């Protein structure tokens, strides 16, 4: 169970990460924050590139940062902060499922509105490691 204080800290962290975004092409800055099973909050922002395919989303930045800086943790919750409350793209949803179960996802906007959903609601027929035969 995610506490009210953890949720608020995640929302603030995602909003702060959004301020770090490099989005000169889309003008759509995104910040993300994930809560790990050991209680850490890891943030990420989108980083665009003139070669659009080389851009990186905020959610994947946070996940890859989590792995590279602290090992393979299970994600307990996700917050995404955009100007209009947009949700993660399909690629980010898939990457998140690699490290999370059906965790809460809060989508926030610049006005402070919060929409609550879950990862499996965003990606109901996800593909994960459990689908691979060994």
User: Which of 8, 37, 48, 59 is an active site residue?
Assistant: 59
Three-class DSSP labels, 68-94: HHHCCCCEEEEEEECCECCCCCHHHHH
Comparing CA positions, the residue from 22, 36, 29, 106 lying closest to residue 69 is 36
Active site residue 59: yes
Backbone angles phi, psi at 53, to 5 degrees: -65, -15
DSSP 51: S
Lay out the sheet containing 114-118: strands in order across: 41-45, 31-36, 75-81, 104-108, 114-118
Task: Quote the CA–CA distance of 126 and 47 in Å, as a whole number.
Answer: 25
**What amino acid positions are annotated as catalytic residues?**
59
């Amino acid at each position: 169970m995610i506490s009210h204080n953890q949720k608020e800290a995640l929302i603030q962290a995602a909003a702060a990460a959004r301020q770090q975004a490099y989005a000169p092409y889309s003008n759509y800055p995104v910040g993300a924050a994930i809560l790990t099973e050991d209680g850490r909050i890891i943030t990420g922002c989108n980083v665009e590139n003139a070669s659009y395919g080389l851009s990186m989303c905020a959610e994947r930045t946070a996940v890859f940062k989590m792995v590279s800086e602290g090992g393979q943790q299970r994600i307990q919750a996700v917050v995404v902060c955009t100007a209009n409350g947009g949700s993660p793209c399909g690629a980010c949803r898939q990457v998140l499922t690699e490290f999370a179960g059906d965790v809460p996802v809060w989508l926030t906007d610049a006005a402070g509105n919060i929409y609550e959903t879950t990862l499996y609601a965003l990606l109901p027929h996800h593909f994960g490691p459990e689908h691979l035969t060994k």
